[in-house]
Amino acid sequence: MKLAKTLMGALLAIGACTTATAEIPDEKQSVRLNTYILLDRTGSMSDLWDEALSSVNAYVGSVIEPDDGPQVDNDITLSVFDAQDGLQYDTLRRNVTGEGWKALTNDEVHPRGTTPLLDAIGRTVAMAESDAPEKAVIVIMTDGKENASREFSREGVRSALSRVEDKGWEVVFLGAEFASFGDADAAGVDRSRQMAVSKDRLSQTMDNLAKKNRAYAQELADDVEFNEADRAIAEEEDVKQRKGTN
C-alpha cells in the first residue's frame, strides 16, 4: 500500500509539471503587417525625388526595428505610377520582407508623366484584396492632383476604400510639399489620415509612420491617425503657408 501511494504521488507530480510546461506561452508571438506604398512617379516629383526615395527606405528600416511588443513580420509592396498614354503602374517590390529589402535608388526609377491618382489607388486596393491580409496599411504619397485617370472615377475609388475600411485596414495620404487634399476627401480618406509633409521631413515622417503602423499591427493602437506631434514633425503648417490648400 505504501509503495502504491508513493507511485501515485510521483505520477501526479509528473502530470503537474507537464501541465505547467504546456501552459508556458511563447515569449513573443509574432504578428504580420502588409504595407502597400503607392509612390507618385510623375514629373512634378523631380525636385523632391531623392527625398521621396530616401523616405521609403527609411520606412522599411524603421518598420522592422524590434520593440517591446510582439514581433512584426513584414510584407512590403512598393508601386510607382504615372500616365503616358494611359496608366503606367509598376510594382517594384512585391511582398518583400524588411530584411530582404533592396534600397530604392534613382537608378531604378525616376519621375515622368502625369497623375492618374485614382487609377493607381484602385489598382493598389485590388492588389491588397488579392493578398487578403489580416492587417494592412496603404500609404499614398503624391505631390499633385488627379489629372489623368481613365479606369476609376472618384466614386469607384471611394467604394474601393470603403471596402478597405470594412476590412479593418488603414489608408494614409501624404502630400509631399502639397496640402490640397480634395482628391483624398473625394475618395473618402478621413482628414485625420491626411497630412502635408515638407521635403526635408519626408524621411522623418515615414520613420514615424512606421512606428505607428507597428503599433497598429501589434494591436497597441486601434488605427493609424496623425496627431499634432506628427504634424509638427512633418512641418505641415509650413507647407500650407508656402503651397496653399486649394
Beta strands in 84-241 (DSSP E): 87-96, 136-142, 170-176, 194-197
Sheet containing strand 72-83, edge to edge, reads 87-96, 72-83, 31-40, 136-142, 170-176, 194-197
pTM for this model (two decimals): 0.89
Give the residue-averaged pLDDT of 134-160: 97
Using one digit for the tens of pLDDT, what is the confidence trace for 186-207?
Answer: 999 999 999 999 999 999 999 9
Q: What is the CA radius of gyration of the chain?
A: 23
Distance CA 39, CA 52 (A): 8
Distance CA 67, CA 87 (A): 39
Domains of the chain, earliest start first: 29-243 (3.40.50.410)
Using one digit for the tens of pLDDT, what is the confidence trace for 148-191?
Answer: 999 999 999 999 999 999 999 999 999 999 999 999 999 999 99
> Residue 59, Cβ neighbours under 10 Å: how many?
27
Contact criterion met (CB below 8 Å) for 209 and 172: yes
The reported pLDDT for the residue numbered 56 is 98
DSSP letter string over 210-238?
HHHHHHHHTTSSSS----HHHHHHHTHHH
